[in-house]
Amino acid sequence: MSKLNELYTQLEVIDEEIDDYIETSDNDAIVSDVAGKVKNHIENALFELKCIVDDETAGIYRDDEKDDYLEEEEDF
């Protein structure tokens, strides 16, 4: 999970840098493309990655249970 948190943190930094670029750029055409084609996708990726991290923290991906019931032989 720590690797996913690292990736999330790095993506947040990139998102903040893109925000700074959008706010300081003088070229409206580039700003429009960056905002529409890059910023929105990064925000979506941040949201989805955060959901995965939260799910992992909640134990959804935990593989504690083994499929013992598939290995058991029953007498009929």
Domain that holds residue 50: 2-58
The answer to whether residue 68 sits within a structural domain is no
- pLDDT of res. 18: 97
The answer to whether residue 28 sits within a structural domain is yes
- pLDDT of res. 68: 56
The answer to whether residue 13 sits within a structural domain is yes
Does the pLDDT value for residue 70 go beyond 80? no
Domain count, the chain: 1
28 exposed, middle or buried (CB, 10 Å; 0-12, 13-18, 19+)? exposed
The answer to whether residue 40 sits within a structural domain is yes
The answer to whether residue 47 sits within a structural domain is yes
For 9-68, the pLDDT digits (tens) are: 999 999 999 999 999 999 999 999 999 999 999 999 999 999 999 998 888 888 776 655
The answer to whether residue 75 sits within a structural domain is no
The answer to whether residue 73 sits within a structural domain is no
